Amino acid sequence: MKKALILLVGLILFSCSSNDDSLYNYQDPMPIELVDLPEEFILNEEYEITITYLKPTTCHVFNDILYQEDNNISTVIVIGTVFQNNGNCTDLNTESQASFNFTANNIGSYIFKFWKGLDDNGEDIYLIVEVPVVN
């Protein structure tokens, strides 16, 4: 999964041209702190999953939720856009929320891996939650 995250970060990190070279933006994953999931899913029902994530600086804004599914294992990453203006960003670390809809289409369990950040060795840290599906 680390290779997938490295590829993801490599694909989404880019600079946008601007008339003013001191203004630029790029994509940056933001750590997920909490997730609101039911204790179980009912087969073929749709659920809204709410994520609480940290907004690291005043220059970060929510962009999207990256959702990658492999069978019944789903990796979820909150993607922010960082708008820099001559480096005038201050640390923030405030909680914000976003949500996405999920439909349980398979019997068994779904395993969600919510990206929490990197450890001291640069390895990905995930909040892993398993939710069974009932019929």
Here the CATH number for the domain that contains residue 24 is: 2.60.40
In this prediction the pTM is 0.80
Identify the helix (H) or strand (E) that includes residue 10: helix 2-12
Q: What's the rounded Cα separation, in Å, for the pair 35 and 120?
A: 23
Domain containing residue 83: 2-134
Number of domains in the chain: 1
Q: What's the rounded Cα separation, in Å, for the pair 21 and 16?
A: 10
Give the tens place of pLDDT for each residue, 21-69.
456 689 999 999 999 999 999 999 999 999 999 999 999 999 999 999 9
Q: What's the rounded Cα separation, in Å, for the pair 128 and 73?
A: 10
Q: 30 and 9 in contact (C-beta within 8 Å)?
A: no
Give the tens place of pLDDT for each residue, 70-107.
999 999 999 999 998 777 889 999 999 999 999 999 99
